Amino acid sequence: MSPQNNTLGIWLMTATAFVFAMQDGLSQHLAREYNVFMIIMIRYWFFASFVIVVAARKAGGLRAAVATKQLPLQVFRGVLLAAEVCVMVTAFVILGLVESHAVFAAYPLLIAALSGPILGEQVGWRRWVAIAIGFIGVLIILQPGFGVFQPAALIPLLAGFMFALYGLLTRYVARQDSAAVSFFWTGVSGAVAMTAVGIWFWEPMAQEDWIWMALLCATSAFSHFLLIRAYEVAEASAVQPFAYLQLPFAAALGVLVFAEALRANVVLGAAVVVGAGLFTLWRARVAPR
């Protein structure tokens, strides 16, 4: 086991958040021109290839990576993540990067809220208060009751719920399967599911857009490599808060590249959501002590 280096882990997580934000910008650009299912399908083909190569290079090879004790649950996890990506990219197209990420930032609060009924974990009153405050932040972003409420604003909230459920199921299967097994089934089952759906929406892509597609696939693989390395070299509790940097990175991209508006209620609501999320992460770390 490699020695823990939290400083390196924090830099790796910061780089991961940046690459994830660039990946989201590429997804938005391509999904504005082509069908979302086709874009995600091609991305998953590359992701599955990356997962298989990684598994083949580890001890035990593909035989060890395939050996899950919870096949239906592992497949469901992979399909759920693929569906979540489709929902989130749809949100990028309809709402833009800024508002989508501002609402999606609530997913750690959803994980905290659902960890009790799904994993049987203890959630104290302080974290319940933080969860409630975080969802007040979501309401500030959505502004229900002020003018015409846009139902599409619920799309990234649905994506956040799906990603939270995926995260909880990942922790659940980790009780019996290794991280390498879960990683393998995430990529492969997601690729199979997206192929079954996306192949029906195939459409010709302009030559220059294949360059963007190749860049999207490369950033997808690179971001997962950085994420794996971050958790290998550092404590998860030390690096997880820095995953929130994806929000300002994506917001900057939305404003500077896609000319999105940065509304005051979105900034305020996102600050409340992130603050509440960071508190729940901190409480999850100190409560066992």
To the nearest 10 degrees (0 to 180), the angle between helices 125-142 and 97-104 is 160
In terms of pLDDT, which residue wins out, 125 or 96? 96
Longest dimension (CA), the chain: 59
What is the reported pLDDT for 38? 97
| % residues pLDDT > 90 (the chain) | 38
Q: Which two tokens stand for residue 37?
A: 């299912």
Planar angle of CA 162, 165, 168, nearest 5 degrees:
155
Mean pLDDT score, 32-52? 95
Give the integer Cα–Cα distance in Å for 48 and 206: 24
Q: Write down the pLDDT at residue 148.
A: 45
- Mean pLDDT in the chain? 86
In the predicted model, is pLDDT for residue 149 greater than 70?
A: no
pLDDT in tens, 110-136: 887 887 777 777 777 777 788 788 888
Mean pLDDT computed over 213-231: 87
Side chain identity at residue 7, one-letter code = T
Categorize the per-residue pLDDT at 284 as very low, low, confident or very high, splitting at 50, 70 and 90: low
Spatial distance between the Cα atoms of 91 and 155, rounded to a whole number of angstroms:
6
* Residue 2: pLDDT over 60: no
Of the candidates 65, 84, 74, 44, the one whose C-alpha atom is nearest the C-alpha of residue 196 is 44
Q: What's the confidence (pLDDT) of residue 237?
A: 64
Q: Indicate the domain borders of the chain.
A: 6-286
pLDDT band at residue 288 using 50, 70 and 90 as cut-offs: low
Q: Higher confidence at residue 118 or residue 52?
A: 52
Query: How far is CA 183 from each of CA 64, 73, 195, rounded to the nearest angstrom?
Result: 12, 13, 18
Q: Return the higher-pLDDT residue of 2 and 190.
A: 190
- DSSP designation for 79: H
Neighbours of 57 (CB within 10 A): 8
Rounded to whole angstroms, the Cα distance separating 11 from 25 reads 21
Q: What share of the chain is helix, strand, coil (3-state, %, to 5)?
A: 80, 0, 20
Q: Calculate the dihedral angle through the C-alpha atoms of 109, 24, 14, 54, rounding to the nearest 10 degrees.
A: 100
Give the pLDDT confidence score for residue 52 in this predicted structure.
92
